[in-house]
Chains A and B, each alone.
Chain A
Amino acid sequence: MKKTPSLFYQSLVVALIAAVSALLISVTHDLTDEARRQSTYSEEQKALKELLGTNFDNNPCAEKILISSPDSEEKLEFYPARRAKTIKSFAIKSYSDFAPGGRMEIMVGFNIDGSIIGSKILSAPHNIIKPAGNKASISSLAVNDAVNRAVGAYKKLNSGGLQ
């Protein structure tokens, strides 16, 4: 009959397994940090180029700031597009939770006077959302919600006197 090990020894084994696991995760995380930063930017950069054209000479992703959302505590991302140091247009990354199956992220482009240039879907759950106007009416609801949130955030930002 084998003697059962002491509680101390048992806990030690659990702690050891936990430590090795944490080490594995953090090493992978650190090694892939650079790749992750680049890959998340590329998607947004593509959307910015499509929405705002090439009428800017800065890197909006590098200058992005967080602005408050009109209806929740969550922050939205604000991307200023400058030409010769002055902001010519900008984009706000907004979201909607009304998409079937989860969250949808959308980039909304604005002229400097606050009029909307257009919007581009960055990510949608399950790939089923087609642009507004298509037959998926639930999806256009979600696009609407996200664009409204971006407009609300812009108005809030503007009334705050921050320009």
Chain B
Amino acid sequence: MKDKNLSCLTKGIIRENPVLTMLLGLCPVLGVSTTAAGSLSMGLTTLLVLVCSAASVSFLKNIIPPRFRLLCFLIIISAFVSTADILISAYLPRLHKTLGIYLPLIVVNGIILNRTELFASQNNLKSAILDALGMGTGFTLIITVLGIFREIVGAGTLLGFRLLPDSALILLLPPGAFFALACLFIVFNRLRKVC
């Protein structure tokens, strides 16, 4: 029993990583990952919204009418995203401006709808929360690694501290997002072959 819970939690981090294996949530991964701090906060916000939505859907799974399933999920997710958006705009205005339009767009992040629809609506509260935590962590990991990489190579800094004397600005621009993610996929494919 304990093993099952543990695998619920850990499967999303690497083995079934939502970004690398299911290609979900690519918009924020590419769009926000220009700085390490911004990516980490985006990841954590998504994680929080994912856990809250999965918990609510799992809690309400017996009363949500199957015909209006998608509608209910969307309402629940958008409620949590709106709340997060309002809280961040009030207490962390700087972060709110950095994340810009990608913050409200968490609502259409494929990971959240995928996990609530395929997992949380069919499992009990505990495993739904564990699954959401794992998947959210997997997403946060990817976006943060990408953010660190792009900030170091693209701006020569990490969390605002200068590391490299010169930098390749292209990595901060939209094409760089695609190139950096391609590198990450290559590393991941390589690792999967070895393991």
Contacts and interface: CB of A to CB of B under 8 A. Distances in A.
A25 B82 contact: yes
B27 to A, nearest CB: 12
Contacts of B101: 102
A25 B79 contact: yes
A103 B101 CA distance: 10
B66 to A, nearest CB: 8
B173 A17 contact: no
A155 interface: no
A24 B79 contact: yes
A102 B32 CA distance: 12
A36 interface: yes
Interface string B107-141: 00000000000000000000000000000000000
A22 B80 CA distance: 10
B76 A128 contact: no
B38 A127 contact: yes
A28 interface: yes
A29 B86 contact: yes
A132 interface: no
Nearest to A40: B93
A128 B91 contact: no
Interface string A115-150: 000000001011110000001100000000000000
Contacts of B94: 43
Contact residues on B (Cβ < 8 Å of other chain), bracket = 35 or more
Contacts of A13: 63-65, 68, 72
A76 to B, nearest CB: 18
B106 interface: no
B41 interface: no
A35 B90 contact: yes
B38 A39 contact: no
A21 to B, nearest CB: 3
Contact of A28 (B32, B60, B87): B87
A155 B173 CA distance: 34
B34 A127 contact: yes
A135 B168 CA distance: 11
B71 interface: yes
B79 A21 contact: yes
Interface of A: 5, 9-11, 13-14, 17-18, 20-22, 24-25, 28-29, 32-33, 35-36, 39-40, 42-43, 100-103, 123, 125-128, 135-136
14 contacts: A11-B68, A13-B65, A14-B71, A21-B78, A32-B86, A42-B93, A43-B93, A43-B94, A102-B100, A123-B97, A126-B98, A126-B172, A128-B172, A136-B169
Interface of B: 31-32, 34-35, 38, 60, 63-65, 67-68, 71-72, 75-76, 78-79, 82-83, 86-87, 89-91, 93-94, 97-98, 100-101, 154-155, 169, 172-174
Nearest 10 CB-CB pairs, A to B? A21-B79, A10-B65, A32-B90, A123-B97, A36-B90, A126-B34, A35-B90, A39-B93, A25-B82, A128-B172
Given A28-B83, A127-B98, A128-B154, 17 more contacts: A13-B68, A14-B65, A14-B72, A17-B75, A18-B75, A21-B75, A25-B79, A25-B83, A32-B87, A32-B90, A35-B90, A36-B89, A39-B93, A40-B93, A100-B173, A126-B35, A128-B34
